[in-house]
Amino acid sequence: MDPVLVRTKLLKTVQALFSNEAAFEEYDWELLPPEIYIRMYPRGKPDQKYIVRLTFEGFPDEAPSYVFVNPQTKQLDGQGCHPMSAYKQDWPGFCLNGTKEFYTKGHPNRRPQWAPEKYPIALVLQEIQVELNKCG
């Protein structure tokens, strides 16, 4: 795909994420620029902070990757992972619709179902937040 088109689509996706301020306020998410890292915690437990890193290799043809990273180093080293059933530490990644890991590791047969407009970033982050809240 044309790199200019990819950049344009990615920028639109990130702008849509910023425009969903209600979700940021409701869940008290914090975007940690310049990288795309989202600080999250289970509802009612602000002392249990986790950081989800989003990467966009192959976007928009492939879903973004969502992984927990070490809160101090922001590295993918197995530290800082939440023990929820939707997160697979051996991949690593979330087995949730709209994540690269879902289509490449968990359900490769469903890869053709990926569409950026069907699974916007804010929707996937809300699903991750729901999982965090369930497991606390």
Q: Is the pTM of this model over 0.85?
A: no
**Domain range annotation of the chain:** 3-135
Kindly report, residue by residue over 32-49, the tens digit of the pLDDT.
Answer: 666 788 889 998 888 888
Q: How far is CA 59 from CA 7, 121, 122, in A?
A: 9, 12, 16
The pLDDT, as a whole number, for residue 102 is: 97
Architecture of domain 3-135: Roll (3.10)
Query: Do 59 and 10 touch, CB atoms closer than 8 A?
Result: yes
Distance CA 37, CA 23 (A): 15
Question: pLDDT tens digit string along 4-24?
Answer: 777 777 777 777 766 666 777
Q: pLDDT tens digits, residue range 57-92?
A: 888 899 999 999 998 898 999 888 888 889 998 889
For 64, other C-beta atoms within 10 Å of its C-beta total 23
| CA 99 to chain centroid | 7
Q: What is the pLDDT of residue 18?
A: 66
**pLDDT beyond 80 at 29:** no
**pLDDT computed for residue 10 by the predictor:** 73
State the residue for tokens 């310049």: 34
Position 51 confidence tier, pLDDT thresholds 50, 70, 90 = very high
